[in-house]
Structures are given as structure tokens and as C-alpha cells.
Amino acid sequence: MKLLIKKTAIFRNMNMRNKLLIIFIMIGLVPVLFFAAFFFQQSKSAFEEELGKYTLEISKQVGGRLDAFVQEMERVSNIIRFNSDVQTILYEWTEERTASSIYAERNVRSLFENIGNFREDFKGIFMVTDHGLLVYNGTGDVAKLHYNFHDDPWYQSVKEQTHFRLNKAHPQTYVKGEEVVTFSARITDNREFKTKGTLLIDFSPQTIKSMSENIQLGSSGHVWMMTADGEPILPSQTLPDWLKDEELFKKVQQESSGFIPFDYAGVQMLAGFYTSSETGWKIIGSVPFEELASGLYGIRTFIVILAIAALVVILLLATALSRMITKPLKVMEHRMAEVGKGNFETGLPVMTRDEIGRLSISFNRMITELHRMNNEVFQSQLREYQQQIQLQNSEMRALQAQINPHFLYNTLNTIACIAEVYDREEISEVSHSLSRMLQYSITGGSTATVEEELTHLLSYMSIVNVRFPMKFTLELQADPEIRRMSFMKLIFQPLVENAVNHGFPGLDQGHIRVEAKLDGDAAIFTFADDGIGIAKERLNQIRAELRQKEGEGGAASDHIGLRNVYYRLNMLYGDRFSMTIWSKPREGTRIVIRIEGGAADVTDIDCG
């Protein structure tokens, strides 16, 4: 599944030309491959059908020879069975041999000899009566006259037969034990209509073997014969290994004739089988499919060549079509890149009236409109930027000139009182602190180091402590690294002044903590007091006022210093700046300023 998703993503990220090329190739190639495979499969099926019929005909041909041989043996058997001398032997048999029986035996042997002279493959003709008399004619070998046929299991199975039968090869135990194939038939006494003997016609196994020897079935094909029970007819012939497959063997046994295509040991085979009507034997011919299907492989080669030729044509057509379609798009992409760089003087030639042509017209209109809008936006942004600069400079100048009138009044009044009443050193300290604050406020740009901000804050607190002796304590915590960092001026003092003015009414003492530290690449400044805190409704109101843009309407706020700090920081640092205000009644207030990426990476604002 992951692989499929990955491949789909690769296709989606391809350029349009390659996508169209792949699509055109698939559209053209899939039908070609489908019809090629279909045609080859149909040809293969037709070849299998014809070759199967061919192997079946081979099996039928061998079966026909076998049936003809059996029919010939039946005629020979009938000549012997109905011979008058044979009938005499069966009817007049006694323990003591008579002249007529001896005469009949001699005539029967002569008959056997005459029949045997017609075939060179005969191994003997034997007539065994149920009383144990043996009359035979061999091929030079002497039969065992006192051989007890009735104790021979093979003979007993033959004796139980009621019809003519061609038996599979067996040892000729009643002569010399050589392998022979026997045609057997029971002999009936036509006077009493009783079977009184058995006729055995033995011949060489080569007779059966020769029926299939001259059959050509490919270069390695073979023809086998087996009984209805699946046993080989000749001991020299072993059945093929594929017949050990139960399903194949069952099909051969159950059906009288047919052919079977199958795979064996990685080789595609074809087998035809036929059941002899005279013997019930199965004649099976099998051959590797490829030995008979040379024509099929010629067709396959032709199909492959045709498919390759079609692929080449499809590839050329797909390449031409994809190039024709994507060339205007490539030109458009190039022109759009030029527009992206700010070149609005470019345009697309309209060569056609199709979708690409209409798209080119729309693109040219868009360029014209973008050019107009870009000029308008540029002029608007320029005016806004100029106004912003003017606003920033005005605010900075106003802040630098703005020292709280009440604070200056109280400070100067304190100096006067001390001078008149106490004549102490506090006058000098307050004067120096005020001088340092005024100098820091009006000199330099809009930024200073955190260390300078802290010094400015200490100057302010020294004046506050003169005004309110032993009332306020200031705790400063600043990492050495952040002390050297550049930061906007006049941030610390307004926030602490806000706490002094609004955080401790009615309290005898107050503690203010200022902390500056680095958190990764972020600068964090915390201002906390243990004053009276801010009610929830008032806190929400302050937060809402801070979210308003500078200059927007709203109720007058007694936290002007806080709003001023918020707007200046937001203007200088933008989205990198955030301010969080937390407060609860009787638990104090905490303000946290966070500058992502550090506070030093800013452009100084020249206040003039």
C-alpha cells in the first residue's frame, strides 16, 4: 500500500509532458497488449485442440492395430474351437487313450503347426482340457507335458474368463519361462454345450511393442499401453510418472478417449488416450507441447514483433502529441516565471482558438490587470510605509519628549522640599538620576542594550525611593548573555512606573521583580509585582484595548504606558512579539514579553 502511494505521488509530481506521454502510451499500448495476448491465447487454445486431437488419433491408430490383432486372433480361435478333431478330444476323452483320440490329437497338432506357420511371432498354441490333457505345437521348445496348469494362479484366472481375452505379458512357465503375451479363450463341447478346455495362443511381446514402435510423436513422445487397472502390458514398459497424479490417472481411467493438456515438472505436456474396444486396454500417447507447437512459437514471435512495432509507433505518436500539447504550456510557464520576477511587459502569442489559445488570451488579460494592480498596490504600500515611518518617528519623538508631567512635578517638588527642610545628599542623588534619565531618553536611536535599559530603570527607582522611602524594593535578574543584547529603548521604566502608580494603592510596601533571560532563541522579559492585582473584568478590558490598533477609538485608559509599550514592540518586532498579562486581586500582576528569534535582530528606527 505504501509503495502504491509512493508511486502515485511520483506520478503526480511529474511534469505535464511526461504525464501525457505515459497516458498516451498506456492508452495505445494496453489495447495492443490485450489483443496480442488474446490472439496468442486463442491461437494456443486452437493449437492445443488440434494437437490434442492429433495425439488422440495416434492413440486410436495404435488401438486400431491392437483391435485388428485381437479380431484376427478371435478368428483363429474360432477355427480351432470349432475344429472337429478338437471337438472329438473334448467329447470322447477317457483315461485310456483310444485310436480315434490319438488320431484327433495328431490332427490338432498339425492344425496348430499350420496356423503357426503364418506368423513368425507365435510362441506356441496350447489346448489344455479340464481333465489335464495338453495338446500343443511350439516353436522348437518342448512343453512340460506333466505341467499342472490347474495349480498355476495365472492359468486359474484365465480359466475363469468366459470371453476371448488378450492377457498382458507373463512368464511362459509351462515351457521355458520366457515372457509371452497370451490370447486365451475357453473351448466348449458343442455336443454337450459345456466348456471343457482352454485355448492359449502365445506370441512374442514384440508383437505388441511393434504396434507403437513406428509411431512418430514429436522427438521425445512415447506411446504406452496399460490395463484397465493401470498396470503396464509389457514388463519392459514403465508407465509415465505423470500418471502417478491421482487426478490425471482418474480422468484417463474414467473417460474412454480424449486428450489432456497439463504441466509436469515445469514442462507443458499433452497426452491423448484411447480405450481399446476389444481388450479394454488404455493406449496413451504423451509428448511435450513445444515439440508439436513449433508453428505456435512462430505466431508468438510474429505477435511480439508486431507489438514492438506498435509500441514504437505509439511512442512516436505519444511523444509528438505530448510535445504539441505541452509546448504552449511550457511557453506559458516561462512567461509566468518572468511575471513572478516582476516583468509585466511579457505576453503570450495567441496561435490557436482552442483551449490553449483562450487560456493565452486570459493570461494576457491577467498580466495587464496584474500590472495595473501592482502599480496601484506599490503606490498604496509606498504611501502607507511613508505614513508608518512618520508615525513611528512621531511616536518616538513624543515618547522621548514625554516625561510624565506629574512625575517631573513631584520630583522637582521633592527636590525643593529636601533642599529647604533637610539640606541632605538626596538632592544630589535625585538630580543625577533625573539627569541620566533625561539624557538616556533624548539621545541615541530607538534601541539600546538590555544593560542600558536596566540602568535607566535603576535611575528611575532611585527617584521613586526618595519620594517613597522604604516603600518599594526592586529585584533584578538578568542573564549575562541577554544584558549585551540590543533591545527597544524605554520599555522597562514605563512598565515599572505603571506598577508603581497602579499596583500598590493603600499598601505600605511593595516588591517589584524584573527578569530577563533567554529561552533557546527567544528573549523573555518578566515584570511582576505583589500589589493589589487587577479585577477580572478590568483585566479583560485592558487586553481588549491592547488588541485595538493604534488610533482606533475606545474608552480612555489609565494604562497609557502599557499601551504605548505594546504598540511600539508590536510595530518593531511584528509577529515575533507577544505579551501576556496575568493578574488576580490581592495576588499581584505579572507581564511577560516574549521576542522569538531574539530581540537584537531588528532594524533601528531613526527618530530624527
Q: What is the pLDDT of residue 283?
A: 86
> Within 13 Å and on the Cβ side, how many CA atoms surround 65?
16
Cell numbers 538632592 label which residue?
A: 427
Distance CA 26, CA 17 (A): 14
Cell numbers 490417472 label which residue?
A: 249
Spell out where 178-234 has E strands: 179-189, 194-203, 222-226
Q: What is the pLDDT of residue 582?
A: 95
- φ, ψ dihedrals at 198, nearest 5°: -130, 135
Distance CA 470, CA 464 (A): 10
Distance CA 20, CA 14 (A): 10
**Quick check: 605 pLDDT over 50?**
no
CATH architecture of 82-207: 2-Layer Sandwich (3.30)
Q: What is the pLDDT of residue 533?
A: 92
Calculate mean pLDDT across residues 19-38.
74
Q: Tell me the pLDDT tens digit for each residue of 554-588.
A: 444 556 678 889 988 988 888 899 999 999 999 99
Q: Which of 14, 28, 31 is nearest to 326 (CA)?
A: 14
Q: Same topology for domains 82-207 and 402-595, yes or no?
A: no
Q: What is the pLDDT of residue 525?
A: 96
Distance CA 423, CA 401 (A): 30
Find the range with the poorest average confidence among 317-331, 335-349, 416-430, 594-608.
594-608
String of DSSP letters for 489-529: SSSHHHHHHHHHHHS-TT-S-EEEEEEEEEETTEEEEEEEE
String of DSSP letters for 382-398: HHHHHHHHHHHHHHHHH
Q: What is the pLDDT of residue 399?
A: 55
How many other CB atoms sit within 10 Å of the CB of residue 138?
Answer: 19
pTM of the model: 0.46
Distance CA 538, CA 591 (A): 15
Q: Tell me the pLDDT tens digit for each residue of 212-243.
A: 777 777 667 778 788 888 888 887 777 787 87
CA triplet 262, 265, 270: central angle to 5 degrees?
30
CA distances from 315 to 10, 15, 24, 149, 342 (A): 21, 17, 8, 83, 39
Calculate mean pLDDT across residues 499-513.
91
Q: What is the pLDDT of residue 390?
A: 59
**Strand pairing class (588-595; 522-529):** antiparallel
**Quick check: 96 pLDDT over 90?**
no
**Binning pLDDT at 50, 70 and 90, where does residue 413 land?**
low
* Most confident segment among 56-60, 344-348, 517-521: 517-521
Distance CA 303, CA 94 (A): 82
Calculate mean pLDDT across residues 141-148.
79
Q: Tell me the pLDDT tens digit for each residue of 312-368.
A: 888 787 787 777 777 776 777 677 777 776 676 676 777 777 777 777 787 777 777
Higher per-residue confidence, 429 vs 64 = 64
- φ, ψ dihedrals at 68, nearest 5°: -65, -40
Provide CATH code, domain 402-595: 3.30.565.10
Element containing residue 267 per DSSP (H, E):
strand 267-275
Q: How many residues does the chain have?
A: 608
Q: What is the pLDDT of residue 590?
A: 96
Distance CA 137, CA 109 (A): 6
Q: What is the pLDDT of residue 278?
A: 85
Q: What is the pLDDT of residue 288?
A: 80
Calculate mean pLDDT across residues 396-404.
53
Distance CA 76, CA 38 (A): 56
Q: Tell me the pLDDT tens digit for each residue of 247-287.
A: 888 888 888 888 888 887 788 888 888 888 888 888 888 88
Buried b (16+ CB within 10 A) or exposed e, 125-137: bbbbbbeebbbbb
For residue 477, the cross-strand partners are: 515
Q: What is the pLDDT of residue 553?
A: 47
**Binning pLDDT at 50, 70 and 90, where does residue 476 land?**
very high
Q: What is the pLDDT of residue 460?
A: 92
The grid coordinates listed for 577 are 512579539
Find the range with the poorest average confidence among 18-22, 132-136, 286-290, 512-516.
18-22
Q: What is the pLDDT of residue 608?
A: 32
For residue 197, the cross-strand partners are: 129, 187
- φ, ψ dihedrals at 482, nearest 5°: -80, -20
Average model confidence (pLDDT) across the chain: 79
Distance CA 343, CA 337 (A): 9
* Domain regions of the chain by residue span: 82-207, 344-390, 402-595
**Binning pLDDT at 50, 70 and 90, where does residue 159 land?**
confident
String of DSSP letters for 538-587: HHHHHHHHHHSPTT------S-HHHHHHHHHHHHHHGGGEEEEEEEETTT
Calculate mean pLDDT across residues 473-499.
92
Q: What is the pLDDT of residue 6?
A: 62
